[in-house]
Amino acid sequence: MKNEPENSLSVRELGEQGLLKRLHRFCPAEWVGDDAAAIAMTPEPNRSLVVTTDMLVDGVHFSDRTTSAEDVGWRAAAANLSDLAAMGATPLAITVSLGLQGDTPVSWVEGVYTGMVSCLDRYQTAIAGGDVCQSPVNVISITAFGWVPTDRTIRRQNGKPGDAIVVTGVHGASRAGLELLLHPETGQDWSEAQTRELITAHQRPNPRLDLLPILWEVMGERGEIAGMDSSDGLADAIVQIARASGVGATLERGLIPVPAILKQRVGEERAVEWALYGGEDFELVLCLPPLVAREFVERVGNGAAIVGSLTKSTRVCLTDSTGAYADEVITQSLSFQHF
C-alpha cells in the first residue's frame, strides 16, 4: 500500500478512518469530529426548520457514461437545495452519508465532494458531517437543513382556483442533455455551444434559490403560495400541486418554455414531451395571483413563463389554443417512477 500512487487508492485500501480524515477537509473544522454537528442559530420567533433528504444510487441516478464524479456531487447537492428552494427556505447546511464499494477509487469520492462544495459555495452552505459505510453499490444520501419564515412557507396545498401557474425557466433541457450523453450521434450536426448548454443543464442544474428574494418582493403581504420544484417533471409537479390543493389545472401547450433548439431539432411534439415528463430541470413551479405572476415573470425573465392556471375542477389538462392537438388529461404515469 505504501508504494501505491495516492490517486489510485481504493476506499478499502485507505480504510474508514483514513477516508473520513480526507473528507473532513471539505467541512468546516468546528462542525465535524463529534457525534453530531452543533450549528449556532439565532433564536427568532415565527421561523420553521426545513429538513429534506435525497438519495442517489449508482446505476439509477448516475453512471460513468453520463456523469463525472464532480458532476455527481454537484447534482446531489443541487437536488437537495432545490427541495429547500421549493419550500421557500434559506439553506443552512447539509450532511452526507456514503455507501461505498470497497474498490471505489478514493479519487472518485474526493471528486464527488469537490462537486458538492462547488455547488454549495454558491449558496453559502457547508457540509456539516455525515457517515460512511460499505455497500454493494455506491450510494450518496444527503440531508439538507434550511429555515423559512413560517408565514412564507411554500406548500403544495396552498393552490386556489384562478391562480396562475408559473415556471421559472425552460423545461426539457436536462432530458435533451441526457439524450446527447447517451447517444452523441443525436447532436452530430448541432453546434458545440448548443450541445454544451444542454449537457450542462443535465450535469450541473442550478437550484432556484436565487429567485426567492424576487418572489417575496412581488408577493408582499398577499398571502400563501403553492409550489414545488420540477425535478420529477413539469407534469408531475402540476399534478401533485393540484391534488394536494384539491383543485384542477389547465396547462397551455404553446406556453411551455422549451429550448428553441429542441423544437428545431427534435420537433415540437417530442420537445413538449421532454418538457412535461423528462424531469431533472430543477425549476420552480409556483401558483400565484395573476397580477403577481405577471410581475414575477417580467422580473425573472430568462425563460420564466405563465403556463396555465388552477381551476375548480379536479382534472389536470393540457390544452392547445391552436387546435393542432386535442386536449389531453395529464397524469403522473409518464413521469419518472422508482417502482
**Is residue 43 scored above 80 in pLDDT?**
no
Show binding-site residues for substrate: 61, 280, 336
Evaluate whether 286 touches 215 at the Cβ level (below 8 Å). Answer: yes
Q: How far apart are alpha carbons 19 and 14 in whole angstroms?
A: 6
Q: What's the whole-number mean pLDDT along residues 260-286?
A: 92
| Confidence band of 2 (pLDDT split at 50, 70, 90) | very low
**Is residue 337 scored above 70 in pLDDT?**
no
C-alpha cell at 136: 454493494
Q: How far apart are alpha carbons 241 and 286 in whole angstroms?
A: 9
**pLDDT, averaged across the chain:** 89
Q: Of how many residues is the chain composed?
A: 339
Q: How far apart are alpha carbons 14 and 92 in whole angstroms?
A: 31
pLDDT tens digit sequence for 160-197 = 999 999 999 999 999 999 999 999 888 888 889 999 99
Q: How far apart are alpha carbons 188 and 183 in whole angstroms?
A: 10
The residue type of 281 is D
Show binding-site residues for Mg(2+): 35, 52-54, 83, 131, 229, 232
What is the predicted pLDDT for the residue at 322?
Answer: 81
| Confidence band of 29 (pLDDT split at 50, 70, 90) | confident
33 vs 294 pLDDT, higher one: 294
pLDDT tens digit sequence for 46-71 = 888 888 989 899 988 888 888 999 99
**Is residue 115 scored above 60 in pLDDT?**
yes
Show binding-site residues for ATP: 113, 130-131, 156, 231
Any idea what the Cα angle at residue 239 is, between residues 91 and 145, rounded to 5°? 15
Show binding-site residues: 35, 52-54, 61, 83, 113, 130-131, 156, 229, 231-232, 280, 336
pLDDT tens digit sequence for 223-269 = 889 999 999 999 999 999 999 999 999 999 999 999 988 988 888 89
The residue type of 240 is Q
Q: Which of 9-18, 29-38, 118-127 has the lowest mean pLDDT?
A: 29-38
Q: How far apart are alpha carbons 59 and 278 in whole angstroms?
A: 17
pLDDT tens digit sequence for 139-166 = 999 999 999 998 899 999 999 999 999 9
Q: What's the whole-number mean pLDDT along residues 60-85?
A: 93
Q: What's the whole-number mean pLDDT along residues 296-319?
A: 95
| Confidence band of 205 (pLDDT split at 50, 70, 90) | very high
Burial per residue of 190-205, b for 16 or more beta-carbon CB atoms within 10 angstroms, e otherwise: beeebbebbbebbbbb
75 vs 321 pLDDT, higher one: 75
Q: How far apart are alpha carbons 83 and 284 in whole angstroms?
A: 9
Q: Which of 15-19, 49-53, 71-75 has the lowest mean pLDDT?
A: 15-19
**Is residue 34 scored above 60 in pLDDT?**
no
Any idea what the Cα angle at residue 219 is, between residues 213 and 221, rounded to 5°? 115
From 137, 178, 175, select the one nearest 55 (Cα to Cα): 137
Q: What's the whole-number mean pLDDT along residues 72-93?
A: 95
**Is residue 336 scored above 70 in pLDDT?**
no
Do strands 328-329 and 316-319 pair parallel, antiparallel, or not at all (unpaired)? Answer: antiparallel
DSSP state of 163: P
